[in-house]
């Protein structure tokens, strides 16, 4: 048997340590939570991303009473970006959430596995990493590459 240790790199920054672009993208993700449709979980998630052409796009989670038919904020935003600007690389994605009391979460929320898989696909499609900002009122995780969120991942090389 061989033990394998996998390490990831992320930073935890306070609001005053974020640059203006990061702060702006997080604010747009926070505002997107108010456009969430989450009548079942009451957990509102917003995402905002910056494209290489300078455009910023936002999205929010959209639930459905047939639970698997809903979609996370991260995927809503990324799919919208690719459908509108298929030749533009994503440079940065910010995610924020409000809990069932309507308050922003203290700890940064983590993207689900399906969203992480989409992050990996985007990473391979655009042949470049993108930064992920995961907001919480107690600090923001900064992840420089989607590979740090899913270091053992499935991609088209397995097909």
Would residue 22 show up in a list of annotated catalytic residues for this protein? Answer: no
Helix, strand, or coil here: 75?
helix
Q: What Cα–Cα distance (Å) separates residue 105 from each residue in 44, 67, 75, 96, 109?
A: 10, 22, 20, 8, 7
Which residue in the list 5, 74, 103, 144 is annotated as catalytic?
74
CB burial string 14-50: b at 16+ within 10 A, e below: eeeebeeebbebbebbbebbeebebeeeebbbbbbbb
Residues written for the chain: 159
C-alpha count within 13 angstroms, C-beta hemisphere, residue 136: 14
Q: How many CB atoms within 10 Å of residue 136?
A: 16
Active site members: 74
């Amino acid at each position: 048997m061989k033990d394998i240790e996998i390490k990831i790199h992320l930073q935890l920054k306070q609001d005053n340590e974020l640059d203006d672009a990061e702060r702006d993208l997080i604010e747009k993700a926070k505002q997107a939570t108010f456009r969430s449709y989450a009548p079942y979980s009451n957990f509102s998630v917003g995402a905002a991303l910056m494209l290489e052409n300078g455009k910023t796009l936002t999205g929010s989670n959209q639930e459905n009473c047939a639970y698997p038919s809903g979609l996370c904020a991260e995927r809503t935003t990324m799919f919208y970006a690719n459908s509108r600007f298929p030749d533009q690389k994503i440079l940065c994605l910010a995610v924020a959430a409000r809990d069932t009391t309507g308050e922003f979460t203290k700890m940064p929320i983590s993207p689900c596995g399906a969203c992480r898989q989409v992050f990996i696909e985007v990473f391979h499609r655009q042949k470049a990493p993108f930064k992920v900002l995961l907001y919480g009122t107690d600090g923001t995780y900064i992840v420089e590459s989607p590979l740090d969120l899913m270091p053992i991942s499935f991609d088209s090389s397995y097909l």
